[in-house]
Structure 1
């Protein structure tokens, strides 16, 4: 559901990211807020901002596909090590061109560490595996894998700025941290004890049931239940996962004899991972209400 608002760009993040708003403002300077041209421009700005927010992940996928198609098997530098260096170059470029702030980079490093620890454990118990080769690895895990988790963190942090995300009825932060910690622990403990994933999914649904996300596009803001946002992002990650496994970046046990689509059951895992990811992002960008300074909005809602 959309509501009209000012077209002024939020005063946050790198200045270059206000370019889409300036373009839209020029394009819509003399048009109605409700005409076909205005609605079309709003949609285009939304798509472009989403694509721009996902830049890190898009570049990582492009590198994985390029390495699978064209990287020579007999190259002096192992493919896995080349992917690590490419991922480092992408991260360095994001900082050099001020597409991420230093504080965000520290948050993304936390994604990297959390993801790498999970990768080392999951490969050790046979949940999935990577092609051998190279020297830049921990156990059976090439170091580029941590950047795939970092790509999720980069997207979430950049989309917070680009869409000036605000929330109503956001749950208490301590409760979100406790649930996220339980989710992360279950990724390990279910190999030795009961799998509580559906209990945890239910806990997330209850915790975020009333929470609504307000995403600024240009003149309008899109309102969406946060749980639905979790599902949609999990779906896009699952699609990216199919691309990654098809490119041979890693494989699941049922793909050992040939590629097949990643099980839809993985959507549940990505939904749970989204909860962890959002909590990690709140350590850098605390969830704000529509009434907080800098939004240009005025609503009657409150956080709790």
Structure 2
């Protein structure tokens, strides 16, 4: 197999898996430079993203099962956003009708876009996992990570202990994916780091286009702290646990039906 052709094919499927994230950041960028009359910016972003989801499902770019996963992540992300804004971690300063406790409803789609990417990449690259630790271990770890995002405001932050647990629990877990019939694999923890890094890059783009603001960005835009990579690393783990478990359950059902 030609390595360049394999890389281009892999890049194509990665790009196709990023359609919804691209729609989000494209909307953020355009809405930051184009004034839409008679509607607040945050409300317009929500309408555009709802329309994007509708088009993706109707066109077959996204399945109904993937849409369900995205909805779950939208709720998970929105709850986290409401809490973080309440604690002063960041803010959405612009007015909108579609705000809930100071958080625009479109913000949940930024978390859902991670799930959209994972679901699409999983399907397009025919992904599977070996050495999956099982729901009890993975689920408890994912729950502890999510809870730590809330509790670290009033008790010590356990993120580095949780990171060590991630390495311990998933040290035998590998992702298997296929490109033009050729099978490749990588450690699951490496994929966590890579996705977390690219989300951090996307976060810098989003704050540059005023999707939200961290406290040190109100006067002028600054690079998002590198420490946020560890936060996204842990948040990606929650995403992978949910997506992988749902895929595992669905695969078991399909096997049972056959």
TM-score between the two structures when normalised by the length of structure 1: 0.80
Distance 1:287 1:162, change over 3 A: farther
| Deviation by residue 1:94-130 (Cα, 9 ceiling, x = unmatched) | 1111112112211110000000000000000000111
Distance 1:208 1:47 in 2: 26
Distance 1:284 1:59 in 2: 25
1:250 maps to 2:212: yes
Bigger share in helix = 2
Q: Which residue of 1 aligns with 2:152?
A: 190
1:48 maps to 2:48: no
| Deviation by residue 1:171-191 (Cα, 9 ceiling, x = unmatched) | 122110000000000000111
Instruction: Give the conservation status (yes or no) of the 8 Å contact 1:132–1:140.
Output: no
TM-score between the two structures when normalised by the length of structure 2: 0.94
The answer to which of 128-137 and 279-288 deviates more is: 279-288
The answer to which of 130-139 and 147-156 deviates more is: 130-139
Larger Rg: 1
Alignment counterpart, residue 71 of structure 1, candidates 32, 35, 45: 35
Select the structure with the greater relative contact order (CA < 8 A; seq sep ≥ 6).
1
Distance 1:204 1:149 in 2: 21
| Structure 1: segments with no counterpart, 5+ residues | 1-32, 294-304
SS of the residue corresponding to residue 132 of structure 1 reads: coil
Distance 1:109 1:202 in 2: 30
Shift of 1:65: 0.5
SS of the residue corresponding to residue 223 of structure 1 reads: strand
Say what the alpha-carbon RMSD is for the aligned residues.
1.7
Alignment counterpart, residue 199 of structure 1, candidates 125, 148, 161: 161
Distance 1:170 1:284 in 2: 13
| Structure 2: segments with no counterpart, 5+ residues | none
Instruction: Give the conservation status (yes or no) of the 8 Å contact 2:135–2:245.
Output: no
Shift of 1:287: 8.1
Shift of 1:288: 10
